[in-house]
Amino acid sequence: MTLTLQPPPKTILPGSQICVYVRDSGGDAQEQSIPQQKAVFETYSLQHGLILDRTFADEAKSGGSIAGRDEFMAMIEYAIANSDRVKGVGVWNWARFSRDIDDSSYYKSLLRRAGVQIFSLTDPVPDGDLGRLVETFIDLANHEKRIQTSRDVKRALRSLVEQGYAHGGFPPRGYIAEPVTIGIKRNGAPRTVSRWVIDPQMIDDVILAWRMRAEGHSYAEIQSATGGRLFKSKNSWSSFFCNKSYLGIYKFGDLEFPNHHPAIIDQATWDAVQAIENAHPRKKTTGQPNHPRRQASPSL
């Protein structure tokens, strides 16, 4: 099927200078996306007598936010600063510009108020006020598609978590991530995830640390007993003893999944340690009567 490219806006005459912004979202299927977009724009510029001034490219960046899209922000600043000669900014489609309707509206307005036209190669948009309306509908559709895609990804990730697999990140001390192949990708490569299993090199020190803390030993004593094999600094123990992962619970967003991986401690040990942690005078817990500021200022 032959792709029909839209002509540049009527205000961008032959001989005009333009900038180009290209982006891909990453993934195996988009390895050639940016080179292909660049090649099409080069041919397009020649066909319409336009001068391709500069190309900005964000590789493996989501269109759902401008965060991390350094080339996008550079393009906006460059086009506005050089609006006396840069007459337009071309994108492959409006989704490449942004999938967030607020970001899309805001940055398009900045360009247009500076006298720089922005146009899409593949989204048919008529001239005039009707074109702005059509463009808004396209942006709304892209925005909704992003939300739906996000829901689909979260649902797929939650399904993996429910099956006992982990979603990225590093497991806490005492666990290691064991790779597991669960299928084949479209390109034929194996689809690999991971699950948390006991780390035989650390498990004894982890059990010792929890037992000692439940018995009331200090961080310094635990640090000495474990010989720095778990942490180099005793300041790391506070978050260690508040991590529910050691109960076999996996956190995914705001959700908790019990029995996700092997537990290292039991509930009684957890409860004993939490009682000691919460009783510590430096613990900033609401209503904690032993907080140093309360000790120094009884009126508080």
How far is Cα 10 from Cα 237, in angstroms, rounded to an integer?
65
Give the helix/strand (H/E) hosting 102: helix 101-113
pLDDT, residue 221, reads 94
In sequence order, the β-bridge partners of residue 84 are: none
pLDDT, residue 225, reads 95
Kind of pairing between the strands at 190-198 and 175-184: antiparallel
pLDDT, residue 267, reads 96
Q: Helix %, strand %, coil % for the chain, to 5?
A: 45, 15, 40
Its sign, for the CA torsion 218, 219, 220, 225, is positive
In sequence order, the β-bridge partners of residue 117 are: 88
Are residues 51 and 16 in contact, defined by beta-carbon separation less than 8 angstroms?
yes
pLDDT, residue 126, reads 74
pLDDT, residue 30, reads 58
pLDDT, residue 285, reads 45
pLDDT, residue 116, reads 95
pLDDT, residue 293, reads 45
Are residues 17 and 128 in contact, defined by beta-carbon separation less than 8 angstroms?
no
How far is Cα 188 from Cα 190, in angstroms, rounded to an integer?
7
- For the chain, which ranges sit under pLDDT 70? 1-2, 27-31, 149-150, 152-153, 186, 281-300
**Strand ranges (E), 111-231:** 117-120, 175-184, 190-198
Token pair recorded at residue 131: 């074109």
Secondary structure letter of residue 259 according to DSSP: T
Are residues 199 and 265 in contact, defined by beta-carbon separation less than 8 angstroms?
no
pLDDT, residue 286, reads 47
pLDDT, residue 282, reads 60
Are residues 214 and 272 in contact, defined by beta-carbon separation less than 8 angstroms?
yes
Are residues 264 and 253 in contact, defined by beta-carbon separation less than 8 angstroms?
no
Token pair recorded at residue 215: 């018995």
How far is Cα 287 from Cα 110, in angstroms, rounded to an integer?
50
Token pair recorded at residue 101: 């309707």
**Which residues, at least 6 apart from 20, have a Cβ–Cβ distance to it below 8 Å?**
37, 38, 41, 52, 54, 55, 56, 89, 90, 91
Helix and strand numbers, DSSP H then E, in the chain: 10, 8
Angle at 107 between CA 147 and CA 53, to 5 degrees: 120
pLDDT, residue 296, reads 47
Are residues 128 and 9 in contact, defined by beta-carbon separation less than 8 angstroms?
no
- The label of the residue with tokens 């942690």 reads 277
